[in-house]
Structure 1
Amino acid sequence: MTYMTRTLLAAMMASTIVAGTATAATHPETGEALAADQTFTNWTLDNPSSFDPQVVEDSDGAAMVRNMFEGLMNQDADGNLVPGVALDYSVNDDKNVYTFTLRPEAQWSNGDPVVASDFVYAWQRAVDPELASPYAWFMELMSIENASAIIAGEMPKEELGVKAIDDHTLEVTLSASLPYFATMTTHSTTFPAPQKVIEEFGAEWTKPENIVVNGAFILEDYTPGERIVQVRNPEYWDNENTILDKIETLVVTDQNQALTRYLAGEFDRIELPAGTYPKMKAEHPDEAVSVPWLCNYYYTFNVSDSGPEAFKDVRVRQALSLAVDRKVITENVMQGGQPEAYSFTPAAVAGFEPPKSAMADMTQAERDAKAKELLAEAGYGADNPLTFDMIYNTSENHKKVAVVLSQMWKQKLGVQASLANMEWKTFLDTRGRQDFALARGAWCGDYNEASTFLDLLTTPSGYNDGKYSNTEYDELIQSAKTAENAPELYTQAEAILAEEMPVIPIYHYAGVMMIDTDLKGWPYQNVERNWYGKNLYKVAE
């Protein structure tokens, strides 16, 4: 059966709108007067982890990659699927074979056509142990046939269940039906890759002078610690309907400084520092924004063999979680509309309402009393204080949360937590090697379904940095992939997490930003916050 929603048709029709939009004086649909300078100046906290679609692992880096590479499907402003390189797709009766029809006009920035074999190469590359992609597990999560065995080194990458029927037909075979498979193709790991460029330049292929892309923008300049400049890709199939000419992303590690520079007119968009939203909303009501965001904020316990013995005791983990007054953090520290978190899965996720845990029904006084009781039972107190180190990546927001957590634990439980901040890449490496006791974590949904969060804590997950492992939990999440009652299984899984507490959920994100009123097209209703530069534009003041 062919899948072609009205959304897809509308998007295809939109691509035929009057040519020459980029040079028009007004927007072809809204009639708004366009600014002469179509440069979007964006902010990022740190250098991106990579510009390689199969290697990038941070959300800001993925946004940059999304503007330079286009996958099979994109999303509209509401998060619905719309055509990308694929015009449409069909699914067999057993719903385990997907066939994508690629648009013939898609091409790389060097003029080569984008063909089905570019996706085959990229997907095989993503599961190849030689590349060791930090997102290899995502391909396994997609249930692509033989992905698990290839990642484990038990089969050659050529056995992956993806093949090019011809230049414009891509066939994907799954090990089992996965209802939300198509939504996962908006993720950067699934984007195509230019084989001959990668083979020529190796790890240097993403440098501005070497990179070849198939998206709306191409990397013009990258100065680590300073700026990333992306400019219009004239070879992009829909270039004539792209309005922005340039996306300039400035690296500013101090969020308060970023806010100062935004107010001085240097940025079109920034993330607001913790605690500043109320003041900014009062002073700049049309620019300060807080919208739901499909992300969670948590701290993860290292329960691996290298972790502290104390954290292997569930009573210690429960005590530390109970003693966290989440309302203080959301209302006094963050102040941006972030919901308190008592589940790992955010309420913003589609098709699943996270269950309310017993902790959520307690008063904070009751939680504190229970925390003291549990910690004493575990053998910790004034004569034997619990001590540990906790790490977070450099950010004023993360520092504020970490300081508050450590103070809560000290005042309520006599716990001594030593804080250490790290530069982003060092932090990722340290956390990934389990060289920590307690570490900050955050996860933004790779697709809008509860499994994008709950899969994270399964035994084989590549981002299960604390190495939590529970057979019953693993079986529930695996069964949910093909079960008709998946929400029931997710509820049972959340109950296990609430009992065993391998992580401490702190809050669920809100997108708290300052966005200049001149910048239009931002997808406020897309809870995944997948924005596309091709859909943004600036209006005349």
Structure 2
Amino acid sequence: MTLKTKLLATTSALLIASSGAIWADGHATHPETGETLASDQTFTYRDLDESPSIDPGMAEDSAGGDIIRDLFEGLYNHDSAGNLVPGVALSHTVSDDNLVYTFTLRDDAKWSNGDPVTAADFEYGWKRAASPELGSPYSWYIELTTVENAAEVLAGDMDPSALGITAIDDTTLEIRLTQPLPYFPDMTTHYTLFPVHQATVEAFGSEWTKPENMVSNGAYVLTEHVPQERLVRERNEMYWDNENTIIEKTVSLVIPDENVALTRFLAGELDRTHVPAGQYPRLESEYPDDIMSVPEACSYYYTINLTDTANPALLDPKVRQALSLAVNRDVIVNNVLAGGQVAAYTFTHWATAGFETPETPISTMEQSARDEMAKELMAEAGYGPDNPLSVNLIFNTSEAHRSVAIAITQMWQQTLGVQTELANQEWQTFLETRGNQDYEIARAGWCADYNEASTFLDLMDSGSGYNDAKYNNPDVDALLAEAKTAADPQAAYTQVEQIISQDVPIIPIYHYAAAYMLDNEVEGWPYENFQQKWYSRELYKVAE
């Protein structure tokens, strides 16, 4: 994998350059590095799809999270290496039993309308997100934090007011957990736990996220939103650290076609775009200063519908095992994608903090042996040349997803004689189809909400809101519960990975790499942040 690198100019070099052409682009210099800044501080990037929501309480996708982190700010943020740094919270203390967290909030945080950001805004935001009335697709995340009464509130058995979060005063927030969770502070960087402005939400209802209505507390405010086309956020003059923000405007453009986006990047219309599948080696050779690939905390997989509405054949674990075995993951990562991705035989990303990737039977085999076992299992299940299996596979519209799907379905056809009908759907429709179990096999991707293995494996819990397979294994549920309180949860995680490798509710395919074209004028990108949580306020563009 290639890590984009640059040599920063020395102070003397900058002084020499200051008398030349570099000053034609801009006179300001970066306060820490001394680099001469470009006169135009607009960052424009490509998104594949329109995010379902930019309401912190209703959002559910990573691209939406990128937008929300600009518009809103939670208790803590991440720095460029993924470490926790103050957001609205300056610090916190923990009780002796590790169940009560008390956060001290800064007194200079303001909403974009000038109102102070207070502990009550966090209390309101959390209780709103947990409310069954709101119907947040990510409300289950609040239960994962183990905050007091979360399960009961989400189930409708308790009023949201019972949730274990209390504003003691304007700058003191108390959060009560039901069991110790060492990575809890890191969980607060996720947008579901961000504050929202109660008066605005109550005044405008579902319309509160429109540019003319939104009040936010992040480094940027929403100034334009044309669904399925563009979203613009500009500097929030009320943000507590506005004076150190350099990027003036960030523009997200929805461009479904990766190759069209690449063309626009090369024409200078975009500062960042995804590397199209299979093109990384060529682009790295031609544009070495404008390309990057680093590990990213996401796993790509196929989920299999295990409900009674599914294809009956897929309820047979032998069929699911055969389908998984027949996927040549090395071909996918080395030939189809070729952007630094790593073949996956576990759900949890190999680079997850504190996680040791366990061996599974499939991971230690040669592909030829996998193929032979797949054929044997499929025959035992009653499928073969005289009775070929037919399945449907859906994916959200993307040339990369299509390329992966075509490659895998060809492997299934050639090795097992499986006939596959492919269908692509627009992102929001796709999410609904998959979430309603109106599918047989579906493409899926999961990006870590925090850097710990449970962020992946909790999706295998029978009660998870994103267990789209509706997989139910009491042993897995028990192991995941055990891991929550274990001093070292690795043993439980290993067993869960080994169980799901046998049960195959999902087929892990590869672990992501963040493979992007990134204009070499853009600095401040968090290459070392495994979750690739980036903030526009940390970026800046240097003069040519």
Q: TM-score range by the shorter chain?
A: over 0.9
Residue among 113, 116, 119 paired with 2:116: 113
Residue among 450, 454, 460 paired with 1:451: 454
1:214 correspondence with 2:213: no
Residue among 180, 205, 212 paired with 1:177: 180
Q: Conserved in 1, the CA contact under 8 Å of 2:393 and 2:422?
A: yes
In structure 2, the residue matched to 1:275 is: 278
Residue among 140, 143, 150 paired with 1:140: 143
CA distance in structure 2 between the aligned counterparts of 1:533 and 1:394, rounded to whole angstroms: 27
Residue among 420, 430, 442 paired with 1:427: 430
Q: Report the 3-state secondary structure (helix = DSSP H, G, I; strand = E; otherwise coil) of the residue aligned with 2:532.
A: coil
CA distance in structure 1 between the aligned counterparts of 2:416 and 2:502, rounded to whole angstroms: 20
Residue among 387, 390, 410 paired with 1:387: 390
Residue among 187, 191, 214 paired with 2:190: 187
In structure 2, the residue matched to 1:301 is: 304
Which residue identity is paired with 2:419? Answer: Q
Q: Report the 3-state secondary structure (helix = DSSP H, G, I; strand = E; otherwise coil) of the residue aligned with 2:442.
A: strand
Q: Conserved in 1, the CA contact under 8 Å of 2:358 and 2:497?
A: yes
Superposed displacement of residue 527, structure 1:
0.7
Q: Report the 3-state secondary structure (helix = DSSP H, G, I; strand = E; otherwise coil) of the residue aligned with 1:186.
A: coil
Which residue identity is paired with 1:467? Answer: K
Cα offsets for 1:426-448 (capped at 9, x unmatched): 00000000000000010000000
1:105-504 correspondence to structure 2 within 5 Å: 105-504=108-507
1:87 correspondence with 2:82: no
Cα offsets for 1:317-355 (capped at 9, x unmatched): 000000000011111100001100000101110001120
CA distance in structure 1 between the aligned counterparts of 2:263 and 2:356, rounded to whole angstroms: 39
Superposed displacement of residue 102, structure 1:
0.3
- Of 284-293 and 23-32, more deviation after overlay is shown by 23-32
CA distance in structure 1 between the aligned counterparts of 2:135 and 2:47, rounded to whole angstroms: 26
How much is the aligned-residue C-alpha RMSD, in angstroms?
A: 0.8
CA distance in structure 1 between the aligned counterparts of 2:357 and 2:348, rounded to whole angstroms: 6
Superposed displacement of residue 24, structure 1:
7.0
Which residue identity is paired with 1:127? Answer: A
In structure 2, the residue matched to 1:13 is: none
CA distance in structure 1 between the aligned counterparts of 2:387 and 2:76, rounded to whole angstroms: 56
In structure 2, the residue matched to 1:514 is: 517
Superposed displacement of residue 485, structure 1:
2.2
CA distance in structure 2 between the aligned counterparts of 1:85 and 1:532, rounded to whole angstroms: 15
Superposed displacement of residue 519, structure 1:
0.5
1:26 correspondence with 2:66: no
Q: Report the 3-state secondary structure (helix = DSSP H, G, I; strand = E; otherwise coil) of the residue aligned with 2:289.
A: coil
Which residue identity is paired with 1:250? Answer: L
Which residue identity is paired with 1:508? Answer: H
CA distance in structure 1 between the aligned counterparts of 2:49 and 2:473, rounded to whole angstroms: 34
CA distance in structure 1 between the aligned counterparts of 2:465 and 2:187, rounded to whole angstroms: 17
Which residue identity is paired with 2:107? Answer: P
In structure 1, the residue matched to 2:16 is: none
Which aligned segments of 4 or more residues in structure 1 are displaced greater than 6 angstroms? none
Q: Conserved in 1, the CA contact under 8 Å of 2:81 and 2:528?
A: yes
Q: Report the 3-state secondary structure (helix = DSSP H, G, I; strand = E; otherwise coil) of the residue aligned with 2:208.
A: helix
In structure 1, the residue matched to 2:7 is: none
Q: Report the 3-state secondary structure (helix = DSSP H, G, I; strand = E; otherwise coil) of the residue aligned with 2:262.
A: helix
CA distance in structure 2 between the aligned counterparts of 1:448 and 1:477, rounded to whole angstroms: 16
Superposed displacement of residue 226, structure 1:
1.4
CA distance in structure 1 between the aligned counterparts of 2:65 and 2:340, rounded to whole angstroms: 25
Structure 2: state its 5+ residue gaps.
1-25
CA distance in structure 1 between the aligned counterparts of 2:420 and 2:34, rounded to whole angstroms: 57
CA distance in structure 1 between the aligned counterparts of 2:247 and 2:288, rounded to whole angstroms: 25
Q: Report the 3-state secondary structure (helix = DSSP H, G, I; strand = E; otherwise coil) of the residue aligned with 1:150.
A: helix
Residue among 35, 40, 43 paired with 2:38: 35
CA distance in structure 1 between the aligned counterparts of 2:51 and 2:506, rounded to whole angstroms: 26
Q: Report the 3-state secondary structure (helix = DSSP H, G, I; strand = E; otherwise coil) of the residue aligned with 2:485.
A: coil
Which residue identity is paired with 2:56? Answer: P
Which residue identity is paired with 1:230? Answer: R
CA distance in structure 1 between the aligned counterparts of 2:540 and 2:365, rounded to whole angstroms: 48
In structure 1, the residue matched to 2:100 is: 97
Q: Report the 3-state secondary structure (helix = DSSP H, G, I; strand = E; otherwise coil) of the residue aligned with 2:423.
A: strand
Percentage of identical aligned residues = 57
Cα offsets for 1:152-173 (capped at 9, x unmatched): 0100000000000000000000
CA distance in structure 2 between the aligned counterparts of 1:187 and 1:524, rounded to whole angstroms: 19
Structure 1: state its 5+ residue gaps.
1-22
CA distance in structure 2 between the aligned counterparts of 1:521 and 1:203, rounded to whole angstroms: 35
Q: Report the 3-state secondary structure (helix = DSSP H, G, I; strand = E; otherwise coil) of the residue aligned with 1:517.
A: coil
- Of 353-362 and 311-320, more deviation after overlay is shown by 353-362
